Copies of this chain bind each other. A is one copy, B any other.
Amino acid sequence: MKIAFIIYDEMTALDFIGVFDPVTRLNTMGFLPDLQWEICAQSKIVKDGAGLGFIPTKVGEALHAYDMVIVPGGFGSRKLMNDAGFIAWLRTAAPCEFKVSVCTGALLLGAAGFLKGKTATTHRNAFGDLQRFCSSVVDQRIVDAGDVITARGVTSSIDLGLYLCEKLTGPEVKERIRQQMDYEHTA
């Protein structure tokens, strides 16, 4: 299992880290030693919406070889959904088994054509904008439409991460990770 965490300028850092934390614990806590990931971007440095700088591990490389791509939201998504270069890059993820988004990251999956005929969700403020990319927008914290999994607003990223932990390894591992994260809530 190889995961690409997509990052871009003016993303919301918590959209990214909220899912990054539980999913990478599958490896760091020893449950899935073969789990690998890269932080993938189109530039050598990425700054979130509050100016925080991140360093990707892969810059501008195609995404087709990953099993899963995870795309965060943030104000940057509004620009990038109309950025032909970025969307062409995201489309290289077409062969990946799972395309996953948090918050307005769904607009990017949508602009790449991955949501056609699918049920999906996004930040509540963006429900109207997502409509044209999918068959229906639903008000749920996580929507699993098979090869596409979307999560609603910012903090639903954590619920998504735990959901993916359960999907990949079952409920017992998910529960141990949830406890280690001191997360008292379930989606």
Contacts and interface: CB of A to CB of B under 8 A. Distances in A.
Interface string A51-84: 1111101000000000000000000000000000
A135 interface: no
B28 A21 contact: no
A6 to B, nearest CB: 13
* Residue among A45, A52, A57 with the highest chain B CB neighbour number at 10 A: A52
A124 to B, nearest CB: 7
Interface in A1-21: 12-14, 17-18, 20-21
Contacts of A124: 182
A118 to B, nearest CB: 21
Interface string A139-166: 0010000000000111110100000000
12 contacts: A13-B17, A14-B18, A14-B20, A14-B181, A28-B50, A39-B52, A39-B53, A45-B55, A51-B57, A154-B181, A154-B183, A155-B182
